Amino acid sequence: MLATVSAETRIKVKQGGIVRMTVKPEGAVSSVSGRFKNKTIPYFETEKGLYVALVGIDMDQKPGTIPFVTTWRRGGKTFTQKNIVTVEAAEFGLQKLTLPKKKVDLDPPTLKRVKQEKGLMKAAFAESVQERFWKGAFIAPVAGKPQGTFGRRRLINGQPRRSHTGEDISAPTGTPVLAPNAGRVVLVGDFFFNGRSVVIDHGLGLISMYFHLSAVDVEEGAQVQTGEQIGRVGKTGRVTGPHLHWGMRLNSARVDPYDFVDVQLD
Ligand SMILES: [Zn+2]
């Protein structure tokens, strides 16, 4: 769910949703920035004098109220605007999966591999630059059917496991996967769980990821444009069939990627 805020108001948003904050201070201002959950949230100027910030609400964020404070400076003075974000519970449902025992109960070498790969992913997620690469509305990376799996709690072979952090899109192996917006490729790899993967930094704390690819068509460090082919759908990693796993992180919060599609965000 996307929520838009402009005045000094209260705002409701569901777990895993995003909030678009705007502020239009009077006069020539400098250093406009937001503060949310002890994190600095960057604002960017879209048209003269209008500043926008996107805030992600993690899918596991406990429901309740969280202040969002915007600060700017004008003529040596500091101004603030306080919004109250009310996070409501989302209905994520439960997914029961049955997988081969050797894919679930990992042996020590596999555990070691998984730990290393987790570190690589974490490092890629931390790489977002203070420059906005993305512009305008996002497109879906694959014109397939979203399965509604974002945020799902999971039981794998009867054991509770980590919730599902992205959306799975059904599409046949080989279907082109497109960059949903402009960005820089910060990670390409072949991972135990995620299979062949691409991670894109769209700037200002927005990161997207594409898992289980049959092929990757970009290299680390490449700048990609909206609609550019980055890979092809596959079933690599721990999966039961071909699909694209598409995930988005905004200020480190795991958010619903479809909240970005066909919406004017800048
Ligand atoms: Zn998935």
Interval 147-191: pLDDT, tens: 999 999 988 888 888 889 999 999 999 999 999 999 999 999 999
- For the whole model, what pTM was predicted? 0.93
With beta carbons less than 8 A apart as the criterion, state whether 234 and 244 touch. Answer: no
Task: Using the mean position of ligand 1's atoms as its centre, give its distance from the Cα of residue 235 in Å.
Answer: 11
- Kindly give the distance from the C-alpha atom of residue 145 to the centroid of ligand 1, in angstroms, as a whole number: 13
Do residues 97 and 57 make contact, with C-beta atoms less than 8 angstroms apart? no
Do the bridges between strand 223-224 and strand 2-5 make them parallel or antiparallel, or are there none, so unpaired?
unpaired
Domains of the chain, earliest start first: 2-88 (2.60.40.10), 94-260 (2.70.70.10)
Any idea what DSSP says for residue 7? S
How far, in Å, is the centroid of ligand 1 from the Cα of 151?
10
Tokens at 31, concatenated = 């250093």
Q: What is the C-alpha separation between 81 and 65, in angstroms, rounded?
A: 16
pLDDT of 10 reads 81
CA of 266 to the centre of ligand 1 (A): 28
Distance 24 CA to ligand 1 centre (A): 39
In the reported structure, the alpha carbon of residue 212 is separated from the centroid of ligand 1 by a whole-number distance in angstroms of: 8
- The CA 5 to ligand 1 mean position distance, Å, reads 31
**Structure confidence at residue 16 (pLDDT):** 97
- Say how far apart CA 9 and CA 11 lie, in whole Å: 6
CA–centroid distance, 142 to ligand 1, in Å, is 14
Output the CA 33–ligand 1 centroid distance in Å: 33
Q: Measured in angstroms, how far is the CA atom of residue 123 from the centroid of ligand 1?
A: 20
- Residue 160 confidence (pLDDT): 86
pLDDT value for 7: 53
Residue 234 CA to ligand 1 center (angstroms) comes to: 12
Question: pLDDT digit string (tens) for 203-219?
Answer: 999 999 999 999 999 99
Q: Residue 125 is inside which H or E element, if any?
A: helix 108-125
Contact criterion met (CB below 8 Å) for 225 and 212: no
Which letter does DSSP use for residue 32 in this model?
A: E
7-34, pLDDT tens digit by residue? 557 899 999 999 999 998 888 898 899 9
What's the CA-to-centroid distance between 231 and ligand 1, angstroms? 16
Report the separation in Å between the CA atom of 168 and the middle of ligand 1, taken as the mean of its atom positions: 5
Q: For residue 51, report the distance from its CA to the centre of ligand 1, in Å.
A: 34
pLDDT tens-digit readout, 42-64: 999 998 889 999 999 999 999 99
Backbone region of residue 136 per phi and psi (left: phi > 0; alpha: psi in -120 to 50; beta: other values): left
Residue 217 CA from chain centroid, whole number? 21
